[in-house]
Amino acid sequence: MKLKVENKRLTFMSLFLATALIAATAHTAPLRAQDDVLDDAEDALANGDALDMDQIEIEGKLSPSELLKRRREKLEERNKLMVEKKIEDIRVKQEIALTNKLQGAFNNSLNNLNEDKVQTTQAAPAPVAPAPVAPAPVIETRIVEVPAPVVKEEKKSKVIPSLGISNIKGDRIDLQSNVSFGVNAETMILPQVSVGLGLNYATMDLSDVANEYVNTGYNYNYNTGYYGTYGSGRAMKFTKLVIEATGKFFFTEDSKFKPYAGAGLSFNRTGLKYDNNTAYNSGYVNFGNEELSSSAFAGSAKLGAEFDISETIGLNLDLSYTKNITSGISKSAGTVSTNPDQGRLENISKEIEDGDVTAVQAGLVIRF
C-alpha cells in the first residue's frame, strides 16, 4: 500500500516539474526576443537613424519602457555634450582670430614708432587654422607740422616831428607866436608808459609902441629924433629854444586811439632884440644895439592823443601848459639910464618869463 502511495507522489512531482520547465522555457524566449529588439533600437539611435515605435515588436507580457528611457537619457546627455563641445570649438577659433588681429596691429605700430617712419602700414593677416582670419585694420601714423605762432614785433621807439603855435599871457601882455617847429624822440618803457626828449623852436614878432612913455626928460628932441630913426613903433624879435624831457601815460594799450596825460621839465633859452639897430644919440642917451637873453627852467603839464594809421605811422595832437620855475636875464648893452630901450627889453622879457604859456602842436608819429 505504501508503495502505491509513493509511486503516486513521484508521478505527481514529475508532472509538476515538467509543467514548470515548460513554462520557464516559454517565458524566457520572449525576454530574449525583447532584449534583441532593444539592442536594435539602441544601434539605430547611435547611428542617427530615426526610430519608429511601430517597428519595435514586444511579445509577451514585458515592460521595457524603463530600460528604453534610460538609454534615451544617455543618448540625450551624449548629444548635449557634443553640442557644447562644438560651441566651445567655435568660440576658441573666434578668440584666436581676434587675438592674432590685435597682436598684428600692435606689432606694426611698435615697428613704426621704433623706425620713426611716416608711412601707412598694414599688418598681414595671421594664418589661423582651420577658420580664416580677417586682415588687421590699417594703422596710419601722421606727423602734422604746426606752423609757429606769428609773434608780432612790438615797435617801442618813435619820433614825432611837429608844428604848433603858442600863446604867452601875462598881466600886461598877450602875445602869440609864429608857427613853431619841434621834434620828440620817445620810447616805451612799459606797455602804457613812455619817456622822451624833445626840442622846440619858436619865434614872435613884436612892435614896441610905448617908447614915448619911457622917459621924455632926456631931451626935448627925444621923441622927434626917435621916431625919425625908428618909426612910430620899434620892431623887435623874440626867440625861444626849448629842450624838454617828458613822460607820458597812455590810457589804452591795444587800441588805435591812445589818449594820454604827461608832464615835462624843460630848459628854456630866450632872446629879445630890436630889428633896427641903427645908432641914434641924443645928448647922453644912446640907442641901437640893444639885446637881451634869458635862461630858465620850466615845468609843463600835457594832454594829448595818438591815432595809429598803421603799425609804423600815426598822428599826434598835444596840448600843453608851461610855467617858468626860475628866471635869469643877462644884458648885452648899456644901463637903463643911458639906453632907455634896454630897459624896455628887460621889462618885456620879464613879463614873458612870468607869463603863462599854452601851446598846441600837431605831429606825425613814426614808430621803429
| Residues in contact with 290: Cβ distance below 8 Å, sequence separation at least 6, in sequence order | 273, 274, 277, 333, 339, 341, 342, 344, 345
Arithmetic mean of pLDDT, 308-336 = 84
Residue 44 lies in a domain: no
CB 135 within 8 A of CB 100: no
Q: Please tell me the predicted confidence (pLDDT) of residue 198.
A: 97
Same domain, 222 and 337: yes
Distances (CA, A) of 340 to 40, 219, 228, 254: 164, 12, 17, 60
Q: Please tell me the predicted confidence (pLDDT) of residue 129.
A: 59
Q: Which of 83, 108, 143 is the last residue of a domain?
A: 143
Residue 37 lies in a domain: no
Residue 4 lies in a domain: no
SS3 for 180?
A: strand
- Residue 145: pLDDT over 80: no
Same domain, 128 and 162: no
Higher pLDDT, residue 29 or 235: 235
Residue 320 lies in a domain: yes
Same domain, 106 and 191: no
Q: Please tell me the predicted confidence (pLDDT) of residue 322.
A: 97
Same domain, 332 and 216: yes
Per the prediction, the chain carries an average pLDDT of 79
Q: Please tell me the predicted confidence (pLDDT) of residue 218.
A: 47
For 311, other C-beta atoms within 10 Å of its C-beta total 11
Q: Please tell me the predicted confidence (pLDDT) of residue 199.
A: 98
Same domain, 206 and 324: yes
> What's phi and psi for 289, nearest 5 deg?
65, 30
Low-confidence winner among 7-11, 138-142, 265-269, 327-331 (lowest mean pLDDT):
7-11
Same domain, 131 and 247: no
Same domain, 84 and 180: no
Q: Please tell me the predicted confidence (pLDDT) of residue 304.
A: 98
Q: In the 8-state DSSP scheme, what is residue 289?
A: -
Q: Please tell me the predicted confidence (pLDDT) of residue 108.
A: 82
CATH number at residue 179: 2.40.160.20
- Residue 255: pLDDT over 90: yes
115-118 CB contacts, 8 Å cutoff, 24+ apart: 118/142, 118/143
Same domain, 233 and 84: no
Chain centroid to CA 266: 43
Residue 1 lies in a domain: no
Can you tell me the distance from the alpha carbon of 66 to that of 56, in angstroms, rounded to the nearest whole number?
15
- Residue 326: pLDDT over 80: yes
Same domain, 107 and 178: no
CB 123 within 8 A of CB 92: no
Q: Please tell me the predicted confidence (pLDDT) of residue 105.
A: 85
139: containing domain:
64-143
Residue 251 lies in a domain: yes
Residue 48 lies in a domain: no
- How many domains is the chain built from? 2
Q: Which of 109, 143, 177 is the last residue of a domain?
A: 143
Residue 52 lies in a domain: no
Q: What is the pTM of this model?
A: 0.56
For 153, other C-beta atoms within 10 Å of its C-beta total 7
- Indicate the pLDDT class of residue 178, thresholds 50, 70 and 90: very high
CB 158 within 8 A of CB 339: no
Same domain, 254 and 339: yes
